[in-house]
Every structure is written in C-alpha cells, then in structure tokens.
C-alpha cells in the first residue's frame, strides 16, 4: 500500500477538486461524485448530497453494513453508500489518506468495473503532502477467519503484501493465484485495470433480486459457458484473481490506515474481508500504530 512502510511518510490528500459521474452497478442509478482535498487526520468520508441531514458516512470497517456482492457502509442513522471498494482501492493504491467525497446517490459509479478511471482521475491533479506523519497499522499477531471453504488471514510482515487464490467451477476462470508486493507504484500497472466479473448464467437471477441493474459489457467481464462475452477479451490473463486483489485492497483500507502485514485470501470476498478487520481490532494485542 505504500512504498517503504515506515513512519516518516507524510499524510496525503489531493490538490484540487475533481468530478466524475457514471452509473451504479447494482442500482442502475446515474450518480455524480466530487472529490475534495481534506486536512490531516480527516480520513475518508462520504457525504450524500441528495440528502439534507445525517448524510456523512465515515469509510471505516465498523461502518460496514452489507457485504452482498459489494461493500456498503452506513452511518448511525442508516444512511448508506454502496460499492465503495473500487474507489477505496484506488485511494489505497495512490496513498490518499484524507479526502472528502460528495455523492448525489446511494452507490459509487462502477465506471469500467475496475479502479483505473479513479486512478487516472486522481492522477490528473497533483497529490499534496500534509504536515503530519502517516499512521501505519502494524499487524502483530496471526489472525485467520474461515467460512465454509473460504478463508482470509493477516500475518506480521515488514511490508504490505497480498496473496490470493480463487477457484470457480468454470473452465474459463477455474483456479488462479497471484501474489504481489505493492511497491513503487505497481498498483496502477498490476491491479487497477482488473475488472469485476460475473457469469452469464447468473444475470437473470441477479436482476430479479434487484442486483446488477446497471451491469453491462462496458463495466464487467461476463463469463459465458464457453467464452468471454466481452469483445476485447481480458486485460490480464489472470484478470479474475487480480480483481479479487483489487477488491481486497479497497476493503482492507477501511482499517482507517495502511496495513503493514501479509494478507492471504482463499476463495473469499467482501464479507470475510470485513470479518478479518473486526477480528483484528477485537484485541489490541493484534496490532500497533507506528
């Protein structure tokens, strides 16, 4: 998540206001979003501009309220914003600690299904150093969460590294694994363009349940029985597992600080990622800030 995980790096924000708009993957609602610079220790906050009160939601693990096919955060009044994981992943990959996000709807726009549009948007302005040291969350003890045949782990490590394995009953996806150390800006080249994916056979079921209403070949890789339906094919030969890493980076950034530790995910998703953070913060012996 950061190049040399030490406590000498300054907190960062963006230098200028930025705007972006697009459709929500699950809601199908068109959304406008603005990103604003924020002062040191502000953190990452979403503000629902379509609502007049109780409209601020802090991007923290403890505010995660739903993990079905995306990550949703809510405040104490039940006001929520969903599908935040790709934007959170971009903020993590670019080391943005403090930012105010105004949004006029209930879901972050999906853009092309990856985080590259958010990365390019943020890179269109300069990143500003703030006059305060960055806090790093150092993992001190092994933590593991399992559910059925899925699991996630955090272990002590001298930097942030991520290892992920997937296994889908589709010959086009099947088993994939990828291990990365996020250093020297490789988030943009190795992770940011990996798109969310789904299976053609599930589309009608999802839509009948009010999900994937904004989904299309423009914002997701759609896997058919015998072929990838997107005419441009895949961006990485292992794009599926790389997207799972992209999601996990976003979910883990809800820790409220960059993590120094080794993360391993096996056939896991948003729910286990949040359960892992809840287990981490359940005991102060598990971590320290450096």
Q: How many domains does the chain have?
A: 2
Q: Which among 85, 113, 133 is the end of a domain?
A: 133
Q: Which among 133, 168, 191 is the end of a domain?
A: 133
Q: Which residues are catalytic?
A: 270
State the pLDDT confidence band at 6, using cuts at 50, 70 and 90.
very low
**Residues 198, 284 share a domain:** yes
> Does any domain span residue 1?
no
Which residue, among 76, 59, 61, 126, has the nearest Cα to 275 in the 3D structure?
61
Q: Find all residues with CB under 8 Å of 72, minimum gap 6, and list them.
A: 64, 65, 66, 80, 81, 82, 83, 84
**Residues 144, 125 share a domain:** no
Q: Which among 133, 161, 191 is the end of a domain?
A: 133
* Tally: H helices and E strands in the chain: 6, 20
CB 180 within 8 A of CB 191: yes
- Say whether pLDDT at 4 is over 50: no
**Residues 112, 175 share a domain:** no
Q: What is the pLDDT of residues 184-241, one digit of tens each?
A: 789 999 999 999 999 999 988 999 998 889 999 999 999 999 999 999 999 999 999 9
pTM attached to this predicted model = 0.95
> Does any domain span residue 33?
yes
Q: What is the pLDDT of residues 155-184, one digit of tens each?
A: 999 999 999 999 999 999 999 999 998 877
**Residues 148, 262 share a domain:** yes
* Dihedral, CA of residue 238, residue 257, residue 263 and residue 159, to nearest 10: 100
Domain holding 241, by residue range, is 137-289
**Residues 103, 58 share a domain:** yes
Task: Supply the CATH number for residue 91's domain.
Answer: 3.30.230.20
Q: What is the pLDDT of residues 177-197, one digit of tens each?
A: 999 988 778 999 999 999 999
């Amino acid at each position: 998540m950061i190049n040399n995980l030490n406590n000498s790096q300054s907190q960062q924000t963006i230098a200028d206001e930025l705007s972006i708009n697009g459709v929500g993957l699950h809601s199908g609602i068109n959304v406008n979003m603005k990103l604003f610079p924020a002062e040191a220790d502000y953190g990452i906050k979403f503000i629902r501009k379509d609502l007049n009160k109780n409209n601020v939601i802090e991007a923290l693990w403890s505010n995660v309220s739903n993990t079905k096919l995306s990550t949703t955060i809510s405040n104490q009044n039940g006001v929520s914003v969903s599908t935040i994981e790709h934007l959170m992943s971009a903020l993590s990959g670019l080391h943005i600690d403090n930012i105010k996000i105004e949004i006029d709807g209930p879901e972050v726009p999906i853009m092309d299904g990856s985080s590259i549009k958010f990365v390019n948007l943020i890179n269109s302005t300069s990143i500003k150093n703030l006059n305060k040291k960055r806090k790093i969350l150092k993992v001190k003890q092994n933590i593991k969460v399992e559910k059925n045949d899925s699991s996630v782990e955090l272990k002590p490590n001298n930097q942030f590294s991520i290892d992920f394995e997937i296994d889908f009953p589709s010959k086009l996806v099947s088993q994939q694994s990828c291990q990365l150390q996020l250093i020297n800006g490789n988030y943009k080249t190795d992770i940011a363009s990996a798109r969310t994916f789904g299976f053609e056979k599930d589309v009608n079921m999802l839509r009948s349940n009010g999900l994937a209403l904004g989904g299309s070949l423009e914002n997701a890789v759609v896997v058919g029985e015998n072929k990838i339906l997107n005419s441009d094919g895949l961006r990485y030969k292992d794009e599926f597992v790389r997207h799972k890493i992209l999601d996990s980076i976003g979910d883990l950034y809800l820790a409220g600080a960059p993590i120094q530790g080794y993360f391993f995910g096996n056939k896991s998703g948003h729910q286990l990622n949040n359960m892992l953070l809840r287990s981490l913060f359940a005991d102060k012996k598990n971590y320290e800030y450096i």
